[in-house]
Structure 1
Amino acid sequence: MQKSYFKYLNTTPFEDKWGIYVTTVGYSKVDPNDHYPNQEHPQSHELTWNRGRILNDFYIIFISKGKGVYASALTDPAEVTAGTCFFLYPGVLHRYRPDPNVGWEEYWVGFNGYYIEKLMTQDIFDKQSPLVFLGPNKDILILFRQLIELIQASLPGYPQQIAGITMQILGLISNVVQHHEYVHDPVGKLIAKAKFIIQESFEDNLDMEKLAKQLPMGYSSFRKSFKRITGESPNQHHLNLRLQRAKNLLDTTILNINEVAEQTGFESVFYFSKLFKKKNGVSPKHYRENREAFIEKDDIDQ
C-alpha cells in the first residue's frame, strides 16, 4: 500500500541549465473528515480554502481516488473526480480540497525552468481549462510512483531523471487532451479501469473475481476481454507488474533480495526468486550482479 510521502527539493545552477527541474513531489491519502491538508508543508505552500494560495512554480495534481473541488482566479469552482488531474500556474491564486464525506488520494509534482516556461505558453495546455480527465490511467500512476521512488533512492543523477519523468507526464496529459482517449469503447474503459486498480494495488493479493464485480463485469467476460485487449490474463498481468517492479528496485535501490520480495508482495523470497528466474532467465541475485549487461541487452532488444 502506498504511504503518504512528500519532498521539497533544492535546485542547483546545473538543474537550472537543464531547462526543467522538479521542486516537489508527493502523495497523500486524505480519509473522509480528515483535516486538509493532513500533512505539514512549508509556510510558502500552506493551503486553506478560505484564503487560497499563490505558488511560484507549475504543478500537476492527479486525483487517483475520491473527489473534491478546484477553483482559481481564472476559473469557477469545478468538481474534481477520480482520474482527473489539474494544473496550477505560477502567480495564479488557486484553491482545492477533497469532499469531506469522501476524501481523496492525490499525487503531485511541482516543476519549472526556462524550457518549461516556454512550453507552457505554446497553447498546448490552457490556463482557462486546467482540469483534464485522464480516467483510470495506469501510466500516469506508474510515472508518479517512479518520481517518488527515485527521490527516495536519491542516487546520483536523479534530478535529471525526475525531470525526464515529469516531461513524460506532460506528454501523456497532452496526448489525452489532443486525442481524447476513453471515448467510444465501454469495454475498453472497464479494462482500463481494471488495469488501473491492479497497478494501484500490485503488491497486494488480488481476487480477480471480486475485481470483475467492481467494474462491474461477469468474470468470464472480464477475463476474455482483458486478454483480448492486453494480450495476457488479469493474473499474469498482475504478476508481471510485480516482477517488473522488482527489476526496477534491483536496478535503482540497495534493498536486499528479501526486502525486494517483501515490497513487491511475494509471500517468500524462494517463491519470488523462482518466478523471477522463470521470467528473466536468471535469479534476482545474478540479475543485480550483472544488471548493466542486462540493461544494455534490453536497450538493444528494443
Structure 2
Amino acid sequence: MTTHNTFFKYFNISQTEEKWGMYITSVGYSKVVPNENYPNQPHPQSHELTWNKGRILNDFYIIFISKGKGMYGSKSTPPMDISEGTCFFLFPQIWHRYKPDIKSGWEEYWVGFNGSYAQQLMLADFFSANAPLTNIKLNKDILVLFRRLLDTAKESSTGYPQQLAGITMQLLGLVNTISQHTEFDNDPVGRLISKAKFLLQESFENQLDMEYLASQLPMGYSSFRKAFKKVTGESPNQYHLNLRLNRAKDLLSSTALNINEIADQTGFENVFYFSKLFKKKNGISPSSFRKMNYPFDYQIL
C-alpha cells in the first residue's frame, strides 16, 4: 500500500526464497503525525497492533525510528521510552507492543525477515530478545539502506527477493557494528555534524535552507559551515547536491522512472538544470548513464 506518508508491502514466500536461507516478509515506511491514530493504515490481520493487546509475529523484524518518539515493551522487557535514532528488533513468538507519542508522532522504517540462515544469525550472540533496543543515533547509512529496501520493493525487478535479503544483511551488519562502536561519543561538534548529515540524507528530494538546518542542530551557521567542511571536505550545499546527484544515479540504474521523474524526485527545478549538473559531475548525460548501467530495456527515457 502507498499513500503520501506510508508505503508497505508484504511478500509471498516461494521455495526459492526459502532455499536462499534468508527471505523478506515485509518492508515499509510510515509517517505518523501528532494526534493521529496508530497504525495509520490497515495491515493484514496477522500484523494488527494495538498498545493494549500487543501482538505476536512469526518473523524477525528490524524497526528504525528516524523522527519523533514513543514507547516499546515486550514479554522480555518492561515498557520503555524510545526516541529518534533508536533501532529495535522483534523476535518470533515473543509478545511485544510499541506506539508513537501522541504529541510528537514518529517516522518509522521496518523490514521483516526469516529463513534458516536468518535464524542461525539472529539466535547467535549478536542480537538478543532481552536487549532489543539499540541507539544507533541518526546514522545516514542506516537510512540509505532502508530507502534502498523500499526502492527495490517498489521496483520488484527480476531477482528482487534476493536483493532485499542482501540489503537486510547489510543492515544487520551495520546495526551490530554501530552498537559496538559508538561514534563521536566524546565529540559534541562531531555529533552535531553527524546529525546534519542524516538530515541532509533524509531531504535529498528537497531544496534546503542551510541556515535553517544549522538552527535545528542548534548551531550558528558560520560555525556549522566551517565544522561541516572540516569533517566532510565539502560545504553543506555541495554535500547535499552530491547526495541528490548520487541518488539520481541509483534511480537511473535501478528503476524504470523516466528522467523527468528522477529530476523531480531528487529536488531539481527542471530536467535541463538537472541534466547540466549531472553531466558536470559524471562526465556523461543522464540518458547516456542509463544506457550504460540500466540492466533491462532502456527505452524509457
Q: Which residue of 1 aligns with 2:121?
A: 119
**Cα distance in 2, alignment partners of residues 182 and 116 from structure 1:** 31
Q: Which residue of 1 aligns with 2:293?
A: 291
1:194 matched to 2:193? The reply is no
User: How many angstroms does 1:292 deviate by?
Assistant: 6.3
Among 168, 173, 177, the alignment partner of 2:179 is: 177
Give, as a single letter, the amino acid of the residue that structure 1 aligns with 2:77.
Answer: T
**Cα distance in 1, alignment partners of residues 76 and 16 from structure 2:** 34
User: How many angstroms does 1:180 deviate by?
Assistant: 2.3
1:45 matched to 2:47? The reply is yes
- Larger mean Cα displacement after TM superposition, 247-256 or 53-62: 247-256
Q: Which residue of 1 aligns with 2:298?
A: none
Give, as a single letter, the amino acid of the residue that structure 2 aligns with 1:45.
Answer: H
Q: Deviations over 1:146-178 (max 9, x none)?
A: 100011111101111110110111111100111
**Cα distance in 2, alignment partners of residues 32 and 254 from structure 1:** 35
**Percentage of pairs with the same residue:** 65
CA contact 1:135–1:182 (8 Å) conserved in 2:
no
**Cα distance in 2, alignment partners of residues 24 and 207 from structure 1:** 35
Q: Which residue of 2 aligns with 1:11?
A: 13
**Cα distance in 2, alignment partners of residues 55 and 72 from structure 1:** 12
Q: Which residue of 2 aligns with 1:300?
A: none
**Cα distance in 2, alignment partners of residues 2 and 245 from structure 1:** 20
**Cα distance in 2, alignment partners of residues 245 and 113 from structure 1:** 31
Among 234, 237, 262, the alignment partner of 1:260 is: 262
CA contact 2:61–2:110 (8 Å) conserved in 1:
yes
Q: Which residue of 2 aligns with 1:83?
A: 85
Q: Which residue of 1 aligns with 2:156?
A: 154
CA gap of 1:234–1:121, structure 2 versus 1, over 3 A, is same
CA contact 2:18–2:115 (8 Å) conserved in 1:
yes
CA contact 2:252–2:294 (8 Å) conserved in 1:
no
User: How many angstroms does 1:185 deviate by?
Assistant: 1.1
CA contact 1:83–1:136 (8 Å) conserved in 2:
yes
User: How many angstroms does 1:109 deviate by?
Assistant: 0.4
Give, as a single letter, the amino acid of the residue that structure 2 aligns with 1:123.
Answer: D
Q: Which residue of 1 aligns with 2:282?
A: 280
Q: Deviations over 1:196-228 (max 9, x none)?
A: 111111111101111111111111111111111
Q: Which residue of 1 aligns with 2:94?
A: 92
Q: Which residue of 2 aligns with 1:74?
A: 76
User: How many angstroms does 1:59 deviate by?
Assistant: 0.3
Q: Deviations over 1:28-84 (max 9, x none)?
A: 011111111111000000001111100000001100000000000000001000010
**Cα distance in 2, alignment partners of residues 133 and 34 from structure 1:** 25
Q: Which residue of 1 aligns with 2:237?
A: 235
**Cα distance in 2, alignment partners of residues 184 and 34 from structure 1:** 37
Q: Deviations over 1:101-135 (max 9, x none)?
A: 11111100000011110111211112111110011
> Which secondary structure does the structure 2 equivalent of 1:67 belong to?
strand
CA contact 1:61–1:85 (8 Å) conserved in 2:
yes
CA contact 2:254–2:294 (8 Å) conserved in 1:
no
**Cα distance in 2, alignment partners of residues 186 and 195 from structure 1:** 14
User: How many angstroms does 1:10 deviate by?
Assistant: 1.0
Q: Which residue of 1 aligns with 2:147?
A: 145
How many equivalent pairs are there? 293
Q: Which residue of 2 aligns with 1:108?
A: 110
TM-score under structure 1 length normalisation: 0.95
> Which secondary structure does the structure 2 equivalent of 1:15 belong to?
helix
Q: Deviations over 1:244-284 (max 9, x none)?
A: 11111110111111111111110011100000000100000
Q: Which residue of 2 aligns with 1:223?
A: 225
**Cα distance in 2, alignment partners of residues 50 and 216 from structure 1:** 37
CA contact 2:86–2:135 (8 Å) conserved in 1:
yes
**Cα distance in 2, alignment partners of residues 100 and 222 from structure 1:** 32
Q: Which residue of 2 aligns with 1:271?
A: 273
CA RMSD of aligned residues (A): 1.3
User: How many angstroms does 1:3 deviate by?
Assistant: 3.7
**Cα distance in 2, alignment partners of residues 115 and 235 from structure 1:** 42
Give, as a single letter, the amino acid of the residue that structure 2 aligns with 1:253.
Answer: T
**Cα distance in 2, alignment partners of residues 237 and 78 from structure 1:** 36
CA gap of 1:2–1:287, structure 2 versus 1, over 3 A, is farther
Give, as a single letter, the amino acid of the residue that structure 1 aligns with 2:35.
Answer: N
> Which secondary structure does the structure 1 equivalent of 2:79 belong to?
strand
User: How many angstroms does 1:181 deviate by?
Assistant: 2.7
TM-score under structure 2 length normalisation: 0.95
